[in-house]
Amino acid sequence: MKKQVVVIGLGRFGTSVCKELYRLGHEVLAIDTKVDRVDGIRDYSSHAVVANATDESELKSLGVRNFDHAIVAIGDNLQASVLCTLMLKEIGIAKVWVKARDLQHQKILEKVGADKVIQPENEMGIRVAQHMNSEKIIDY
């Protein structure tokens, strides 16, 4: 089923999530404060907008409340990430998934209502190690 997803923050992680969701046929609204990042995603999203996602009135005017999923991919700015997550939950987005840079960040995000917290580097490191481990077993 086609989902409506808002992706906030177009670093490597946010950009990759946005492109793949769009390729899979979902409606994706991409948001970043940086014009060049928004320009770069235009051909790989349904809508691409320059906006500050910590500004509640901007989020509301973009019709974010009509989306059922949100991905907050702001890793480095803890304050922006937490504030944005809190506002998206207050606006009523059912599923808010958020990128965290470390465990402390993850705990704060869970307290403010994030439905899923992802630590991409950490999770990918574990998967690579497990992959290598299973190859060793097969080789044996």
Interface residue list for ligand ATP (CB under 6 A): 8-14, 31-34, 37, 52-54, 73-77, 80
Sequence-separated (6 or more) residues with CB below 8 Å from residue 140 = none
- Which residue of this chain has its Cβ atom nearest to ligand ATP in the complex? 11
Q: Say if residues 119 and 106 touch (Cβ distance below 8 Å).
A: yes
**Nearest distance in Å: CB 101, ligand ATP:** 8
Eight-class DSSP state of 42: G
Two tokens, residue 118: 């992802």
**Nearest distance in Å: CB 11, ligand ATP:** 2
Two tokens, residue 7: 């992706």
**Nearest distance in Å: CB 26, ligand ATP:** 19
- Residues in the chain, total: 140
Cα–Cα nearest to 95, from 5, 31, 14: 5
| Rounded CA separation 56/101 (Å) | 23
Tell me the one-letter amino acid at 132: M
62 vs 137, beta carbon nearer ligand ATP: 62
**Nearest distance in Å: CB 39, ligand ATP:** 12
14 vs 46, beta carbon nearer ligand ATP: 14
90 vs 135, beta carbon nearer ligand ATP: 90
27 vs 58, beta carbon nearer ligand ATP: 58
**Nearest distance in Å: CB 1, ligand ATP:** 27
